[in-house]
């Protein structure tokens, strides 16, 4: 896309008679890319971009965070995790994995679940627990790690699955009486796995215009343009602007791997509450790799910090900057809520790449 095309699109967007509209990007990587490229600074005031429940760390509930913090201090445990989890705050102020590590917990940052299997193979005297957060994007890799550990008969590797599915959460979001979104920027990475099929319900059942896009600013710009055209023309179709990677039926191999190891289960989401069949639990055939069972982890349902409004941010009902704690009491170095921690969090993106 050259500057001329970019400008042509902007002129169209500025001239489109669509009134005040909200578009939602569901994926945290989109959120970050939008903030980094300064896309919001280019859009006219009547078009707002909101972030949805697509940041894995952000939707994780407090009791699960507290549970892995507690687990990290048990003797002989190595916690292997994606970096995002390190600063996610526990219930007690100042508590997080970084602090637990400073107090002696063995916490390792990994880039892939398979790295955690390697740590287990190299440390037979320790129990390695991988913190499996994420959506359909990370689930196949986590499944592969469990299968690898099974094949190598590793008895000291397990996964604490906090994995979630995108579709059930979007359905809950849309059913909310305060839901006010006129178009979806569909998460491209998730669509690579579950395909166009996984998102057809948005247009076919709910008639909300939706575009699957990639993650370059140009991809997103084109996606926004596509949504506004649909809105202006009164259409609602699922458009695939990411066809270089997204197939109609997704990636069958990854889907098979996922369903061999995991089964849907009821799960609690920050901001959205309990959603039926929205989580992924490890099947009984792989029970020995399930950290929840192996360590008898207990979960007391807990409220998020009283003033934290991450739940509203996740639902797209509050822009990060409008949270009373944004940038004051809640900053990336001292976060109150998870949206301020993760590189994918709406608040972290808004803080790091603030609007002029």
Partner 1 sequence: MQEVITLDYGSGGKKTSSLIDEIILPVLGNPALSQLGDGAVVDGGKSLVFSTDSFVVDPYFFPGGDIGKLSVCGTVNDVAMAGGRPRYLSLSLIIEEGLPADDLRRIIDSVGAAAKQAGVEVVTGDTKVVEHGKGDGIFINTSGIGTLVCPGLTPAAIRAGDKVLVSGTVGDHGTAVMLARDPMLAGGEIRSDCAPLNELAQKLYSLGSDLRVLRDPTRGGAATTLCEFAESAGLTIELDEGSIPVDPAVRGACDMLGLDPMYCANEGKLLAVVSSEKAQEALDILRCDELGEEASIIGEVTEAHGARVIMKTSFGGSRILTKLAGAQLPRIC
Q: How far is the CB of 99 from partner 1 (least distance, A)?
A: 6
- Distance between alpha carbon 114 and the CA centroid of its chain, in Å? 20
Q: Of 68, 110, 116, give the one whose Cα is nearest residue 89.
A: 68
- Residue 36 touching partner 1 (CB under 8 A): yes
**In this structure, how many other beta carbons lie within 10 angstroms of the beta carbon of residue 122?**
9
| 114 burial type by CB count under 10 A (0-12 exposed, 13-18 middle, 19+ buried) | middle
- Residue 269 touching partner 1 (CB under 8 A): no
- Residue 42 touching partner 1 (CB under 8 A): yes
- Residue 354 touching partner 1 (CB under 8 A): yes
Q: Distances in Å between the alpha carbon of 283 and those of 143, 156, 264?
A: 11, 18, 9
- Whether 202 and 208 have beta carbons less than 8 Å apart is answered as yes
Residue in 130, 160, 221, 225 binding partner 1, rule: CB under 8 A: 221
Residue closer to partner 1 by CB (options 13, 208) is 13
Q: How far is the CB of 85 from partner 1 (least distance, A)?
A: 8
Residue closer to partner 1 by CB (options 8, 205) is 8
Sign for the pseudo-dihedral over CA of 314, 318, 321, 326: negative
Q: How far is the CB of 188 from partner 1 (least distance, A)?
A: 11
Quote the CA–CA distance of 82 and 111 in Å, as a whole number: 6
Residue closer to partner 1 by CB (options 130, 209) is 130
Quote the CA–CA distance of 117 and 127 in Å, as a whole number: 11
- Whether 13 and 224 have beta carbons less than 8 Å apart is answered as yes
- Residue 237 touching partner 1 (CB under 8 A): no
Q: How far is the CB of 302 from partner 1 (least distance, A)?
A: 17
Q: How far is the CB of 345 from partner 1 (least distance, A)?
A: 10
The number of residues that bind partner 1 (CB under 8 A) is 53
Q: How far is the CB of 328 from partner 1 (least distance, A)?
A: 14
Q: How far is the CB of 25 from partner 1 (least distance, A)?
A: 14
Residue in 63, 218, 260, 312 binding partner 1, rule: CB under 8 A: 218
- Residue 356 touching partner 1 (CB under 8 A): yes
What does the DSSP assignment read for 97-129?
HHHHHHTT-EEEE-SSHHHHHHHHHH-TTSEEE
Quote the CA–CA distance of 121 and 149 in Å, as a whole number: 9
Residue closer to partner 1 by CB (options 251, 317) is 251
Site for partner 1 in 334-353 (CB under 8 A): 342-344, 351-353
- Residue 82 touching partner 1 (CB under 8 A): yes
- Whether 290 and 159 have beta carbons less than 8 Å apart is answered as yes
- Residue 332 touching partner 1 (CB under 8 A): yes
Using N-to-C axis directions, what is the helix angle for 28-37 and 217-233, rounded to 10°? 100
- Residue 241 touching partner 1 (CB under 8 A): no
Site string for partner 1, 101-130 (x = CB under 8 A): xxx-----x-xx--x---------------
Q: Of 241, 209, 217, 26, give the one whose Cα is nearest residue 135.
A: 26
- Whether 195 and 248 have beta carbons less than 8 Å apart is answered as yes
Residue in 84, 219, 241, 319 binding partner 1, rule: CB under 8 A: 84
Radius of gyration, CA atoms only, the chain: 20
Q: Is 291 helix (H, G, I), strand (E, B) or coil?
A: helix
- Residue 328 touching partner 1 (CB under 8 A): no
Site for partner 1 in 3-32 (CB under 8 A): 3, 6, 28-29
- Residue 247 touching partner 1 (CB under 8 A): no
DSSP symbol at 340: G
Rule CB under 8 A: which residues touch partner 1?
3, 6, 28-29, 35-42, 56-57, 82-84, 86-87, 92-95, 98-99, 101-103, 109, 111-112, 115, 133-135, 137-138, 189, 217-218, 221, 331-333, 342-344, 351-356
């Amino acid at each position: 896309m050259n500057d001329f095309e970019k400008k042509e699109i902007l002129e169209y967007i500025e001239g489109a008679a669509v009134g005040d509209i909200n578009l939602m990007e569901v994926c945290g990587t989109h959120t970050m890319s939008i903030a980094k490229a300064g896309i919001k600074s280019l859009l006219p005031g009547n078009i707002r971009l909101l972030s949805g429940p697509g940041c894995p760390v952000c939707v994780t509930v407090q009791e699960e965070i507290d549970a892995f913090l507690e687990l990290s201090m048990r003797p002989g445990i190595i916690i292997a995790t994606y970096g995002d989890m390190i600063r996610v705050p526990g219930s007690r102020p100042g508590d997080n994995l970084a602090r637990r590590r400073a107090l002696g917990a063995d916490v390792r940052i990994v880039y892939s679940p398979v790295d955690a299997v390697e740590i287990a193979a190299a440390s037979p005297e320790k129990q390695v627990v991988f913190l499996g957060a994420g959506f359909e994007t990370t689930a196949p890799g986590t499944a592969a790690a469990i299968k690898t550990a099974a094949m190598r008969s590793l008895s000291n590797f397990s996964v604490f699955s906090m994995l979630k599915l995108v579709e059930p959460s979007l359905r809950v979001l849309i059913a909310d009486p305060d839901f006010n979104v006129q178009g979806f920027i569909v998460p491209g990475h998730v669509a690579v796995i579950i395909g166009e099929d996984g998102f057809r319900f948005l247009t076919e059942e709910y008639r909300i215009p939706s575009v699957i896009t990639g993650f370059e600013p140009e991809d997103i710009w084109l996606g926004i343009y596509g949504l506004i055209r649909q809105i202006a023309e009164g259409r609602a179709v699922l458009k695939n602007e990411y066809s270089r990677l997204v197939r109609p039926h997704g990636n069958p191999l990854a889907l098979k791997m996922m369903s061999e190891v995991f089964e849907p289960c009821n799960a609690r989401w920050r901001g959205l509450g309990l959603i039926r069949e929205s989580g992924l639990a490890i099947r009984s055939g792989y029970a020995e790799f399930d950290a929840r069972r192996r360590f008898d982890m207990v979960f007391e349902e807990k409220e998020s910090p009283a003033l934290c409004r991450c739940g509203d941010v996740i639902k797209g009902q509050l822009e990060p900057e409008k949270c009373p704690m944004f940038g004051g009491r809640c900053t990336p170095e001292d976060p109150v809520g998870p949206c301020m921690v993760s590189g994918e969090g709406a608040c972290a993106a808004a803080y790091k790449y603030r609007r002029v």
